[in-house]
Amino acid sequence: MNLRKALVTAAIIFGFFFLYRFATRPKGYETTEGVVATEEPLQTELAEGDEKPFPDDASGYKWTITPKAEYHIAARVLSTERYRTEWQSTLSPIDLALGWGELSSKKVDRWIDWSQSGRWYFYQWSGDSPYKADFIKDHSANVHIIPSTENLKSAVLRLHSNEIVLLEGLLVNVDGSRGGENYWWHTSLSRKDNGDGSCELLYLKRLVVDGKEYR
């Protein structure tokens, strides 16, 4: 095979590899330049038998955490809110309001304001906004973060608005007790819902931000 044919063959092979790689990588992905947040979150149903509950004791509470789905999201941090005093904070010290797709661009903040309180997130849009309620709802979420390690807890508490992040872990249901009181906190499994119960409860196993990985 002469040099020209060899180069053409190599180019074809590389082209197929390039297309395959970019066509099959997960929605929300990493590149050498960092995290890209243009795709929908990826939620994967757990295999039969993988929804095994596991315990977590914190601040005198006895928790049972039940995995419901694997979750992978690349998004812009729209807002963060730290929690310290209510019972949920023993497991989840922070909520992240996240936006993906077109909402991963800071330019949308020209029309949309973001805020959080009381484990909710809120958004208001101007009258001339090209982004209305249904679009915003379907491309953003308030995520309750349960860090699986102290390293992840430290890292996630340092996040701030407009950072692009990759989060991986498990959507979970939490049930617990303390003294004679019982508690429950269950995740949403849909990106289309709103109102009470529509937030994701994420048991975080991996975080990528600013080219650094935390586990």
Residue-wise pLDDT for 59-98, tens only, equals: 788 999 999 999 999 999 999 999 999 999 999 999 999 9
More confident: 13 or 50 = 50
Residue at 83 is within a domain: yes
Residue at 48 is within a domain: yes
Strands (E) across the chain are located at: 29-31, 34-36, 42-45, 54-58, 61-82, 94-99, 112-117, 120-125, 140-147, 164-178, 181-186, 200-209, 212-214
- Which tokens go with 37? 């947040």
Taking the C-alpha atoms of residue 194 and residue 116, their distance in angstroms, rounded to an integer, is: 15
Please check the confidence at residue 24 and state whether its pLDDT lies above 60.
Answer: no
**In sequence order, which ranges of the chain are alpha helices (DSSP H)?**
3-24, 133-138, 150-156
Whole-number average pLDDT of the chain = 86
Amino acid at 179: G
Residue at 137 is within a domain: yes
Q: Residue 4: its pLDDT value, please?
A: 53
Residue at 23 is within a domain: no
**Residue 100, domain extent:** 31-214
> Predicted confidence band at 195 (pLDDT cuts at 50, 70, 90)?
confident
Taking the C-alpha atoms of residue 1 and residue 40, their distance in angstroms, rounded to an integer, is: 45
Residue at 142 is within a domain: yes
Count of domains for the chain: 1
- Which segment, 3-7, 21-25, 69-73, is predicted with the most confidence on average? 69-73
Rg (CA), the chain: 20
Whether pTM > 0.85 for this model: the answer is: no
Taking the C-alpha atoms of residue 41 and residue 61, their distance in angstroms, rounded to an integer, is: 31
Residue at 65 is within a domain: yes
Residue at 166 is within a domain: yes
Residue at 26 is within a domain: no
